[in-house]
Amino acid sequence: MNGHCNVNVNDTVEEFHCNSFSDLIIDSKKSVVHRKHDTSRKNEEDQSRLPTLEAAYTSILRELGEDTDRQGLLRTPLRAAKAMQFLTKGYHETIEDILNNAIFDEDHDEMVIVKNIDVFSLCEHHLVPFFGKVHIGYIPNKKVVGLSKLARIVEIFSRRLQVQERLTKQIAVGISEALQPKGVAVVIEASHMCMVMRGVQKMNSCTVTSTMLGVYLEDPKTREEFLTLSRSA
């Protein structure tokens, strides 16, 4: 998926506790969240990889016909390499890291929605950004999560080379594995620069993907309530 080549795909996978989820939807062996992988990119690795990235960007600038010695481009390879590392920093992070303390026992079983979370990611096919908004809803099962942690989960998965469908599913699965709620719903509306700036060049196009898990999948009324609430201004 967001395949880190140093991950051993035969790693043992934890039991996936599903209460009312349909097992067919998520193959836990393939779940990126679930794999116990070390964060294979730490800061030292980033630093050590910087020269290679810089050299690659210098070569790109030359091949495009630019003059790499002109003032505006002198440090561009370094800046572009760092920018690209920042835009893919999600590979560093795991859900366990950010969620550790922020799950609380509350006797709440009504829907919780956090909407209009800005999301920025990189298209894995063209290495061009896509960005938009994420709306997340979940129905807690005695455990609620700190609200900003939902946004942080979005950050972890979006700061990678992504495909919007996969991003939506990873966010949903990440939340459901962390909280075991009764249901999770994630909707992403995004604009893809690879479609807007090049190729078919449709300025106003917007791609919408959604993942419904648990009670959101089974009960149409719940799903409708989420969709209505997340759309209202």
By CB under 8 A, name the binding residues for other proteins.
Answer: 2-5, 40-41, 45, 49, 52-53, 55-57, 59-73, 75-76, 79-81, 83-88, 91, 118, 120, 124-129, 131, 161, 163, 193-194, 196-198, 203
Please check whether residue 186 is in contact with residue 156, taking contact to mean a CB–CB distance below 8 angstroms: no
What Å distances lie between residue 227 and 95, 116, 153, 232, CA to CA? 26, 13, 21, 9
108 is catalytic: no
DSSP for residue 145: E
Task: Write down the catalytic residue from 4, 37, 108, 126.
Answer: 126
Question: What number of residues does the chain have?
Answer: 233
Task: Write down the catalytic residue from 164, 170, 177, 180.
Answer: 164
Sign of CA dihedral 46, 48, 49, 54: positive
- Shortest reach from residue 118's CB to other proteins, in Å: 6
- Shortest reach from residue 20's CB to other proteins, in Å: 31
Identity of the residue, 80 or 215, whose beta carbon is nearer to other proteins in the bound complex:
80
5 is catalytic: no
Identity of the residue, 76 or 222, whose beta carbon is nearer to other proteins in the bound complex:
76
Cα 228 to Cα 207: distance, rounded to the nearest angstrom? 18
Which residue's structure tokens are 């994630």? 186
Task: Write down the catalytic residue from 14, 45, 96, 124.
Answer: 124
Identity of the residue, 75 or 231, whose beta carbon is nearer to other proteins in the bound complex:
75
Which residue's structure tokens are 């999948």? 217
Cα 133 to Cα 118: distance, rounded to the nearest angstrom? 5
123 is catalytic: yes
Cα 72 to Cα 81: distance, rounded to the nearest angstrom? 16
Identity of the residue, 5 or 233, whose beta carbon is nearer to other proteins in the bound complex:
5
Annotated catalytic residues are 123-126, 164, 192, 194
